[in-house]
Amino acid sequence: MTSDDRALIDRFLEMMAAERGASPNTLLAYRTDLTGAAAIMGTLAQAPKAALADLPAAWASLAASTVARKASALRAFYAFLAEEGLRDDDPSAALPRPATRRPLPKVMSAADVDRLFAVIAGRLAADPPARLDLRLSALVELLYGSGLRATELVSLPRRALSADRPFLILRGKGGRERLVPISDRARAAVAAWLAHVPADSPWLFPSGRSHLSRIRLYQMIKSLAAAAGIPPDRISPHVLRHAFATHLLEGGADLRALQAMLGHADIGTTQIYTHVDSRRLVELVNSRHPLATMTPRR
């Protein structure tokens, strides 16, 4: 990869951050995909269309979703070059467009959630409860009770939650703000944890010089699952977010309300949760539809 390529990638990522509000994780993914493509082709910004046509062969062993993501990053990069007058053409038409299917979320039963909270309750029964168990309680209550993303959770400011306000306002993916309801249980768990947070910490979940990392959160959830007798590979912070959405929908939540709480820009993303509710929908038609109470004619 040439020095010009590195400079243009930097300019592209600055634009994505400033104009489109791309998150640090998104920017890192773009940089990885662009530098990887440059390594394959030898150059990036001035790569001919024929060089891009060779990429599918290099990506042949990758999943369709991964190929689609890499191709999307390159399309955005070449569109940026064209808009800035840095290329006379846009060669991205040569990139593949693999057909992808949105994967269904892992489903976690309410019984499994109960087992997680039973382990936490057992630990909190100690007198006094351990500091790290109070932290774990607050984390899991917010994950399952509010459907926060892992990054949103670990980076919460110390004063994000207020004792007299049953919600918080988050800036999530793409810089979009949303209102997130916070249950009484979660507020109580956070209040208990706050007593152990240093007064000068800007973070609700501090760790070292920054906040708790997503990787450490992931490890904590896996460890909790093992203690509850649940296979750790079935659970992650994101699976708890899925459980929040799935169980709300099963309880009768409106899909649009769920979209707002999860912070999905597209209702299509929220609709992946409707697959888990098919049995309830059938029961709903059989019990609530006007025809259900009518005697069939012979």
pLDDT in tens, 93-150: 888 887 655 555 566 788 999 999 999 999 999 999 999 999 999 999 998 888 888 8
Q: Report the percent of the chain where pLDDT is more than 90.
A: 34
- How confident is the model over 138-176, as pLDDT tens digits? 999 998 888 888 888 999 999 888 767 777 777 766 666
Q: Is the pLDDT of residue 79 over 70?
A: yes
Asked if 241 is an active-site residue, the reply is yes
Helix (H, G, I), strand (E, B) or coil at 170: strand
CB 171 within 8 A of CB 226: no
Q: Are 80 and 12 in contact (CB under 8 A)?
A: yes
**How high is the pLDDT of residue 248?**
74
Distance CA 235, CA 249 (A): 20
Confidence (pLDDT) at 289: 57
From 173, 185, 214, 218, active-site residue: 173
Catalytic residue among 135, 149, 211, 222: 149
Burial class (CB in 10 A: 0-12, 13-18, 19+), 291: exposed
Judged by average pLDDT, the poorest of 203-207, 260-264, 294-298 is: 294-298
Domains of the chain as residue ranges with CATH? 3-94 (1.10.150.130), 110-277 (1.10.443.10)
Q: Which residue out of 211, 241, 242, 247 is catalytically annotated?
A: 241
Write down the pLDDT at residue 144: 87
Does the active-site annotation cover 69?
no
3-class SS at 179?
Answer: strand
Is 49 an active-site residue? Answer: no
Global pTM value: 0.60
